[in-house]
Amino acid sequence: MLSFERSIEILNEIQINQYQTQKLYLMECLGYVLAEDIIADHNSPAFPVSAMDGYALRYDDMELERVRIAGITPAGFEVETVVEKGVCVKTFTGSLMPKGADTLIPIENVTVEGEMIKINQKVPFGFAVRAVGENYAQGEKLIARGTTIDFAQIGVIASLNIVTLAVYKKPTVAILSTGSELLEIGETQTNDAQIRSSNNYILEAIVQKYGGKPLQMGCIGDDKQSIAKALSQALYQSDIVVTTGGVSVGDFDFVKDVIFEMDAEILFKGVDIKPGQHIMVAKKGEKFIVGLPGFAYSATVTALLYLVPLISKLQNTRCKIQKVKAILEEPFVKRSSKSEFTACNLSLREGRYYVNFRDKKVGTSAILTNMLGEVALLVTSQTESSKQVGESVEILLLA
């Protein structure tokens, strides 16, 4: 069976021929990925500006006992007065420095005596003057294409007077759960064999959280024809179709058959991982089909492992789930020779991650409650075995 590492390589090797971009108003861009470089078209500040409240003067004039106040320049007004020998201009934070002045002496350093100031404490040359281009210089690349837009990017882009931005479109992810036993939330139960679906809801949340646009298609029974119809409908409306259930070896597991019969390129079917070994990923044209297993914990983990990177890939950016090192606070029992992904409790103390398995249940891959709390996924490869307290391990950070 395909190793986990190889399955991820296959995902990474996929070439995206045409990224989809759109223009959005700046304040709609939070969480989107930038599709253009942001380059400063001006110097900031464009002119020398005062960084404190005080008096703009010539550095050499601090040798004089007293300097005459020749004018005042509030922020937002152009300054006419030229600072010559023996004079100063009252200047505020954000005001343009008057011509002729090279230094700002703060209010706290002088005593005002009528129209004169007496200098009590000198400051170095150029004190409290923001130089041209201090913030950024014209032509400087400030934000690179591929950056996810967060609050700092919004602020800097606003300061550049950029109103609309080219961003990668968030891929639409159609979500379809399969299983004749499934009830959607609010639906009335009519027999004891029915269970409440969680998969299509958790997937909608995952897609939303990790930068996709969910298209909820609900639950559908184990009927091959209905599945085929729903899948092609979903594919038509989205960039990625993600299904749950029906990829295993049961008599009613039709999803895999439908995907096989769709004339799609099967990237892989079956990976040596626990949970989720029946995972299936296919590509049809420029679109993707991700067939996840039905068990709630398996569906969740495999969505994090395969769907989330695909969502990032379609936006030409790196996956938001990162692998970091942590220290085991409890022994870890490896239960198989597969790559295992085990829910653990995560804590951060003095700059180090620690993990343990307190209150985590051992059982089938149906135990979704193991994903509650400050959770991370402990990653162990095929060749790794059980581990002792204090050992360094790899975890996936889901933040």
Q: Name the site residues for ligand AMP (rule: CB under 6 A).
A: 177, 179, 181-182, 195, 197-200, 244-246, 248, 250, 253, 293-296
Would you tell me how many other CB atoms lie within 10 Å of the CB of residue 42?
Answer: 14
Which CB sits closer to ligand AMP, 227 or 393? 227
Min dist. Cβ of residue 370 to Mg ion (A): 21
Q: Binding partner of residue 293 among ligand AMP, Mg ion, none, CB under 5 to 8 Å per kind?
A: ligand AMP
Q: What type of residue is 199?
A: N
Q: Binding partner of residue 198 among Mg ion, ligand AMP, none, CB under 5 to 8 Å per kind?
A: ligand AMP
Return the residues of window 134-193 that contact Mg ion according to CB under 5 A: 179
Min dist. Cβ of residue 1 to ligand AMP (A): 17
291 lines the binding site for Mg ion (CB under 5 A): no
Min dist. Cβ of residue 155 to ligand AMP (A): 41
211 lines the binding site for Mg ion (CB under 5 A): no
Min dist. Cβ of residue 278 to Mg ion (A): 11
Which CB sits closer to ligand AMP, 244 or 339? 244
Which CB sits closer to Mg ion, 291 or 309? 291
48 lines the binding site for Mg ion (CB under 5 A): no
Closest residue to ligand AMP using C-beta atoms = 294
Min dist. Cβ of residue 28 to ligand AMP (A): 32
Min dist. Cβ of residue 20 to ligand AMP (A): 29
Q: Binding partner of residue 244 among Mg ion, ligand AMP, none, CB under 5 to 8 Å per kind?
A: ligand AMP
245 lines the binding site for Mg ion (CB under 5 A): yes
Q: Which residues are at the interface with Mg ion (CB under 5 A)?
A: 179, 245, 294
